[in-house]
Amino acid sequence: MVGTAHHWYWTGQSNVTMAFAALFSALEVVPLTLLTLDVWDFIRLTGTRERSAEGKRRLVIPHKWTFYFLMAVGFWNFVGAGIFGFLINMPMVSYFEAGTLLTANHGHAALMGAFGMLAMALMVLTLRQVLTDEQWKGPEKLVKISFGGLNAGLALMVVTNLFPGGVFQLWDVMQNGYWQARSSAYMNLEYVRLLEWLRMPADVVFILLGALPMALAALSTYRLVLSDGQSGAESVPADDG
């Protein structure tokens, strides 16, 4: 919570508040990196091994996609909160860039990347836990697509629109003043409008290949659980392993 205070520059905070905000924001990357490494180690060391059709032994983890989303949390925290957050958290920098697209760039990558991916991880954990191994095969395909779509869409937002747009806007602040870079005249410049349109493919990927498949996976799980309840069939949920 203290780390988010680097967004409070124009709200009349004290020097002490801003100093702690910058310090805690810069240090966020340390525990988040350790969290990602811990999740990766957990994936490598847990689960059961079974022999595949080719005769090779492979690791089977019932909650594999939950941990993949948790690794995404660590990655986007490192990029969105760590790198992009560090770029904007110093009070001297906030004087020039607060409210520009660099703020939105950090906000999208950190908020969706951290809390959004965490919510997806908890949802996938729940969906997997109430289904048998056989029932999970259908929703798992949708979850796999959603994982790729959400991460690819978010990355495209950053690369094609938010970060380059923020850099151009900051440059305009340095050249013409903060008021100019926040004005409608700047927002209607040709290259600014072009960057806005370049955002559309990212949004399409995020919605159609990210959010929609996850919604369908949730509906499919609900239908499977409901049909089991109506038929009186005994369902064996996934193992906690």
Does residue 105 surpass a pLDDT of 50?
A: yes
pLDDT grade for 233, boundaries at 50, 70 and 90: very low
Q: What is the pLDDT of residue 206?
A: 97
Q: Where are the alpha helices (DSSP H) in 46-162?
A: 64-76, 84-88, 91-97, 101-110, 117-129, 133-157
pLDDT grade for 58, boundaries at 50, 70 and 90: low
Q: Is 205 helix (H, G, I), strand (E, B) or coil?
A: helix
By residue count, the chain amounts to: 241
**pLDDT average, residue stretch 131-139:** 90
- Reported as a single tens digit per residue, the pLDDT across 151-163 is 999 999 999 999 9
Does residue 237 surpass a pLDDT of 60?
A: no
**pLDDT average, residue stretch 83-110:** 86
Q: Which of 173, 10, 166, 32 has the alpha carbon at shortest distance from 91? A: 10
Angle, vertex CA 140, rays to CA 136 and CA 141, nearest 5: 130
| 81 half-sphere exposure, CB direction, 13 A CA radius | 29
Does residue 102 surpass a pLDDT of 80?
A: yes
Q: What is the pLDDT of residue 230?
A: 60
Say which residue, 149 or 59, is predicted with more confidence: 149
Span of 37-41, 99-103, 116-120, 128-132 with lowest mean pLDDT = 37-41
Q: Which residue has the tokens 């091994």?
A: 49
- Reported as a single tens digit per residue, the pLDDT across 175-224 is 999 999 999 999 999 999 999 999 999 999 999 999 999 999 999 999 99
Structure tokens at 161: 């629109």
Does residue 112 surpass a pLDDT of 60?
A: yes
pLDDT grade for 114, boundaries at 50, 70 and 90: confident
Q: What is the pLDDT of residue 101?
A: 92
Q: Which residue has the tokens 């032994």?
A: 57
**Dihedral of the alpha carbons of 97, 103, 105, 111, in degrees to the nearest 10:** 160
Q: What is the pLDDT of residue 121?
A: 94
**What's the CATH superfamily of 2-222?**
Cytochrome c oxidase-like, subunit I domain (1.20.210.10)
Average pLDDT, the chain: 84
